[in-house]
């Protein structure tokens, strides 16, 4: 019996962003499968309802690959796929496998010879890059920078150097409740002529995306506390 297909199903990045996130093909896909591997079951069920799921949720088989589950193994997640059933993989927000532990599921699917199909949907990294005005042909996403202030400052200088030498956009994030200290460190550490794009609450009703020099940002510092944000550095 041939294996099923693993569909990678994007999730809205923000509340009230459902209409910006779904495609007709995505809606058709979720109504053709009954099994999911998800990062957070509660979020996943809400998303499926918003997306127009017609299947009663009581009929769904949902595997939670939260941190505890990942530590105990994922073999159970693949039984349906091995039996020929199609399965959906969903992140907490955005695209599965992009800055997301779902990449482990995808990697294992490939090793097992399971077909993987990515669906179109919002990626905060790409949306931020699109809106920044920075180099979209050469860029690197670094995830989280060090928490230690000295190490974080060194890393910011390192990324600034890469941006200037390679003309390469440098992207990174921080836990939302630490955004303000991160921004403070960037503005204190980086060259006044370096350009910084701040992309906040993408696709949400309070979306904010602006690109300025460090010197201009220092004149008026935005409030980013608990607001999902991506920082981008570039130097022309």
Does 129 lie in the same domain as 58?
no
114 & 21 share domain: yes
- The pTM for the full model equals 0.92
> What is the pLDDT at residue 24?
94
CA distances from 117 to 87, 120, 195 (A): 10, 10, 36
Distance CA 162, CA 164 (A): 5
* Structure token pair of residue 164: 């200037």
- What is the predicted pLDDT for the residue at 236? 82
Orientation angle between helical segments 179-189 and 149-166, nearest 10 degrees: 60
Pairing mode, if any, of strands 61-64 and 35-38?
Answer: parallel
Structural domain count, the chain: 2
- Which residues of the chain fall short of a pLDDT of 70? 67-72
> Could you tell me the strand order of the sheet in which 35-38 lies?
61-64, 35-38, 87-90, 5-9, 115-118
Q: Of 55, 37, 47, which Cα lies nearest the Cα of 13?
A: 47
Cα–Cα distance between 21 and 167 in angstroms, integer? 31
Look up the CATH number of the domain holding residue 149: 3.30.950.10
Identify whether residues 105 and 155 lie together within a single domain. Answer: no
Tokens read off for 117: 């199909």
Three-class SS of 124-168: HHHHHHHHHCCCCCCEEEEEECCCCHHHHHHHHHHHHHHHHHHCC
- Would you state the pLDDT for residue 59? 95
Q: What letter would DSSP give residue 4?
A: -
Give whole-number Cα distances, 179 to 20, 126, 155, in Å: 25, 20, 16
Answer yes or no: do 133 and 167 share one domain.
yes
Do 28 and 53 lie in one domain? The reply is yes
Q: Both 132 and 225 in a single domain?
A: yes
Q: Report the CATH number at residue 19.
A: 3.40.1010.10
Return the closest-CA partner of residue 103 out of 45, 202, 37, 42: 37
Domain membership of residue 145 as a residue range = 124-234
- Indicate if the alpha-carbon torsion angle 125, 130, 134, 135 is positive or negative: positive
Q: What is the per-residue pLDDT across 82-116, written as a single tens digit (0 to 9) for each?
A: 999 999 999 988 999 998 889 999 999 999 999 99
pLDDT of residue 136: 97
The predicted structure's pLDDT at residue 73: 75
Interior/surface letters 87-123, b for 16+ CB within 10 angstroms, e for the rest: bbbbbbbbbbbbbbebeebbeebeeeebebebbebbb
* 90 lies in the same domain as 110: yes
- Point out the domain boundary residue: 118, 139, 167: 118
């Amino acid at each position: 019996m041939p294996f099923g297909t693993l569909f990678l199903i994007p999730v809205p990045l923000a509340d009230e962003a459902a209409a910006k996130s779904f495609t007709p093909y995505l809606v058709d896909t979720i109504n053709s499968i009954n099994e999911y591997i998800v990062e957070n079951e509660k979020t996943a069920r809400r998303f499926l309802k918003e997306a127009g799921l017609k299947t009663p949720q009581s009929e769904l088989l949902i595997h939670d690959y939260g941190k505890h589950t990942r530590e105990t193994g994922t073999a159970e997640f693949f039984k349906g796929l091995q039996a020929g059933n199609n399965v959906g993989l969903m992140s907490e927000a955005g695209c599965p496998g992009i800055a997301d532990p779902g990449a482990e599921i995808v990697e294992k699917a490939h090793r097992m010879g399971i077909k993987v199909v990515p669906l179109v949907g919002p990626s905060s990294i790409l949306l931020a890059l699109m809106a920044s005005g920075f180099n979209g042909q050469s860029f690197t996403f670094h995830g989280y920078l060090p928490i230690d202030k000295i190490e974080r400052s060194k890393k910011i200088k390192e990324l600034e150097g890469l941006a200037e030498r390679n003309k390469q956009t440098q992207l990174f994030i921080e836990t939302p409740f630490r955004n303000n200290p991160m921004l403070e460190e960037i503005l204190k550490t980086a060259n006044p002529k370096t350009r910084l794009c701040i992309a906040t609450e993408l696709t949400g009703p309070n979306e904010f995306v602006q690109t300025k020099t460090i010197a201009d940002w220092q004149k008026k510092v935005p409030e980013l506390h608990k607001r999902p944000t991506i920082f981008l550095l570039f130097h022309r």
